[in-house]
Chain A
Amino acid sequence: MLEIRGLHASVNGQEILKGVDLSVKAGEIHAIMGPNGSGKSTLAHVIAGRPGYQVTAGSVVYKGRDLLAMPPEERARQGVFLAFQYPVEIPGVSNVYFLKAALNAIRKHRGQSELDAMDFLSLVKEKAQLVDIDESLVKRPVNEGFSGGEKKRNEIFQMAILDPELAVLDETDSGLDIDALRVVAAGVNQLRDPGRAMVLVTHYQRLLDYVVPDFVHVLVEGRIVKSGDKELARDLEARGYEWLEAPAPAARS
């Protein structure tokens, strides 16, 4: 589904990603771990198409197409979703109605009929239960006045509504207490699907106790230096990242 080859990317002229290779198939969950500043969030943003991130070399192929050539809204319509590390507050824009507009843009693109208000609101009810988020909360302006945990839950709620094929979760676990983490993890697990791939970007192993990944990759200084299964996450928890920090030639998953 996703093939990343030799990806180099810069932000403000500073190279952050220095040759990332990653292959993700439908139904798989990949965890990307690494110390602060290793390039984890940059990778997530490059996949989603955030302006200001320059790809200087390499390729990202998604479902056989050049992902890097698409504007962010086109990527979303093709089924890419990014759960933000820091969800943005947007006063004056309704969370559910902007989602309805987004979902209908995606459905139109897929050749599906647009949902009317009734159908959409019953979908909202169903998915709000899935992530245990208050329905009145999701009807407020986008993230405005939400607590940190509510923002993260809203991201998972949006993911559940938009039903992506490739979901990238950027440190969705950071800043959550254990109860909120369980809720978010349960939501993610419910969305596990043979047709859906997920990439979990995380700093801690904690999330992986609840969402068990198929593959774990360690990103250090802009390269994937080690890949393995869920046991690798436990090693990292016990030993830290230091033993990996001399970047070896890029490893393949």
Chain B
Amino acid sequence: MTPLAQETDLYRADFEALAARRASAEPGWLARRREEAMGRFEKRGFPTTRDEEWRFTSVAPIARTAFRRPVPGPGVRGRAADVAALSLDHVFDGRQIVFVDGRHAPGLSSIEAEDGLEIRSLADVLARQPDRLEPHLGRLAGGRSSSFADLNAAFVEDGAFVSIPPGLVTDRPIHLVFLSSGAGTPDPVVSHSRTLVLAGRASQATIVESYAGVPGAAYFTNAVTEIAVEDGAVVDHYKLQRESEAAFHVATTAVVQARSSRFSSHSFALGAGLARNDVRQLFAGEGGECVLNGLFAVAGDQHTDSHTFIDHAHPHCTSRELYRGILDGRARGVFVGRILVREGAQKTDAHQTNKNLLLSREALVDSVPQLEILASDVKCKHGSTTGQLDPSALFYLRSRGIPEAAARGMLVSAFAGDVTGRVRVPALRAGLERHLRERLPGLQDRDMQEAVL
């Protein structure tokens, strides 16, 4: 038996066991989609660095670990303190749905009704109104989904379901919390959470996804988020990944934008030992606007990989992309940003920038901007730079009396500030800045903190 067969066999056995245990019969379409996804996963197996899409990131540590699906139980309770820490000063009260090890935790959630806005668990919708999911679930992620997205589709049981009815403009951000307890079984657990966001015509909402784990816990988060932005809708999406440094995090956010819609994504990859985040966007109509911002900040032996894909399939769409990376220790970062301007997508306006800051000799980053233009009348540009802290700036600050560590902290924090400064949820921005500061030893003094804009 080849190693590949062993890796997928484990998941096949689990898949069969799960199907047998499932209490109520699922709709035929769902069972079929699961089986198809499982079949694709078995056929392809886990990706290797020979796959173009994975050439900088080896997932061998994930493939060779026998993860178990979490057993619902006491692990779920007693995590209120962890959730409180994530809920950022209660600004999300009334708009917060919490999942522990991939399962909805109603006791930790807090949801107030508002004008047809739905914030529910996907399991609840699957049980009671599965027909509502059929047009969307697994459809937005598209046919070129990764092995990990297939695995998620085969095992999906729960996650967040957010539906913003047409015309509803809701100011208060919606917080989706995915917490891993690291408890339940002696083996590391995997959760295949799935989030579906449906933003109706001319609606407006802000969604924050937080992923975190109990420090030191080893587990695997395999998440998929699908977002449908209907005509004229506006969605601001934030993803804050602060998994345990012993954890694996693989996630895809798939977005389809209808005519004249606006979507922004702000992705913060700070945690996990091995992380891979894909944002796959499609303009499915004219006149759309898309902003993809990202910051990855890693140290020690962390590895973080950000892939983005912007698909200009229709004319008169605008995209702006800014990713910044900060790497210390022996950390490794990857940015691969692909922009495709399809034939006929005239008047496309696309900018992409990736800037990386290396804080140690051992840190490493691979940056691959890719612009493919098949239309003739477009405005596109991209750029990528990787460097170290500017010694002149460092000396300038020190020559005024700022200690070296604080001067470094200010410059690193200012570098990150170009991305964190674009966060429009104040509590989230403050939480991010606090997180980054805690990792910059020179910035503990308040005077030094204030210097960073």
> Which residues from chain A sit less than 8 Å from chain B, CB to CB?
48-52, 71-73, 75-77, 81-82, 84, 87-88, 90-94, 97-106, 109, 114, 141-142, 158, 162
Query: Which of chain A's residues have a CB closer than 8 A to the CB of B410?
Result: 93, 98
Report how far A230 CA is from B392 CA in the complex, Å.
Answer: 33
Given contact pairs A87-B396, A88-B393, A92-B414, A105 touches B451 in the complex (Cβ within 8 A): no
Q: For the complex, give the distance between the alpha carbons of A97 and B453 in Å.
A: 9
Chain A residue nearest to B394 (CB atoms) is A51
B400 located at the interface, meaning its Cβ lies under 8 Å from any Cβ of chain A in the complex: yes
CB of B344 within 8 Å of the partner chain: no
- A90 engages B395 (CB within 8 Å): no
**CB pair A94 B399 closer than 8 Å:** no
The listed residue (B406, B407, B447) touching A100 by CB distance below 8 A is B447
4 closest residue pairs by CB, A with B: A92-B414, A76-B401, A101-B447, A98-B451
Q: A73-B403, A93-B397, A97-B451 are in contact. List 20 more A-B contacts (CB 8 A).
A: A52-B391, A72-B398, A72-B399, A73-B407, A76-B398, A77-B401, A82-B399, A88-B393, A90-B393, A90-B414, A92-B414, A93-B410, A93-B414, A94-B451, A98-B451, A100-B447, A104-B447, A105-B401, A105-B403, A114-B447
B452 lies within 8 A of chain A by Cβ: yes
CA A92 – CA B411 in complex, angstroms?
A: 8
Asked if B445 is at the interface of the complex by the 8 Å CB criterion, the answer is yes
B440 at the interface (CB under 8 A from A): no
Q: Does B415 contact A (CB under 8 A)?
A: yes
Q: Secondary structure of the B side of the interface?
A: helix
A121–chain B nearest beta-carbon distance, Å: 12
Q: How far apart sit A142 and B452, CA to CA, in the bound complex (Å)?
A: 10
CB-defined contacts of B396 to chain A, threshold 8 Å: 84, 87-88, 90, 142
CB–CB B400/A88 < 8 A: no
8 A Cβ contacts from B88-141 to A: none
Which chain B residues border A88 with CB–CB below 8 Å? 390, 392-393, 395-396
Pairwise interchain contact A92-B418, C-beta atoms closer than 8 A: yes
CA distance A223 to B400 in the complex (A): 28
* B residues 372-402 in Cβ contact with A at 8 Å: 390-393, 395-402
**B430-445: contact bitstring with A at CB < 8 Å (1 yes, 0 no)?**
0000000000000001
When chains A and B are docked, how far (Å) is the Cα of A101 from the Cα of B452? Answer: 11
A88 to B407, CA, bound (A): 14
Interface, chain B (partner A; CB < 8 A): 390-393, 395-404, 406-407, 410-411, 413-415, 417-418, 445, 447-448, 450-453
Tell me if B400 and A98 are in contact (CB < 8 A): yes
- Can you report 11 residue pairs joining A to B where beta carbons are below 8 Å apart? A48-B399, A71-B398, A73-B404, A92-B417, A92-B418, A98-B400, A104-B447, A105-B401, A105-B402, A105-B403, A109-B401
Q: Is the CB of A102 within 8 A of B418?
A: no
Identify the interface centre among B390, B392, B395: most chain A CB within 10 Å of its CB: B395
Alpha-carbon gap, A212 to B392, bound state (A): 31
CB pair B400 A162 closer than 8 Å: yes
Taken together as a complex, chains A and B put the C-alpha atoms of A96 and B92 apart, in Å, by 34
CB contacts (< 8 Å) of B450 on chain A: these are 94, 97, 100-101
Q: Are A141 and B399 in contact (CB under 8 A)?
A: no
A84 / chain B contacts, CB cutoff of 8 Å: 396, 399
Beta-carbon contact of A76 and B400 below 8 Å: yes
A89 to chain B, nearest CB (A): 8
Given the known interface contacts A90-B411, A141-B453, the answer about A101 and B406 at a Cβ–Cβ threshold of 8 Å is yes
CA A88 – CA B393 in complex, angstroms? 6
Q: A71-B404, A88-B390, A88-B393 are in contact. Are A100 and B451 (CB under 8 A)?
A: yes
Asked whether, in the complex, the Cβ of A93 is within 8 Å of the Cβ of B401, the reply is no
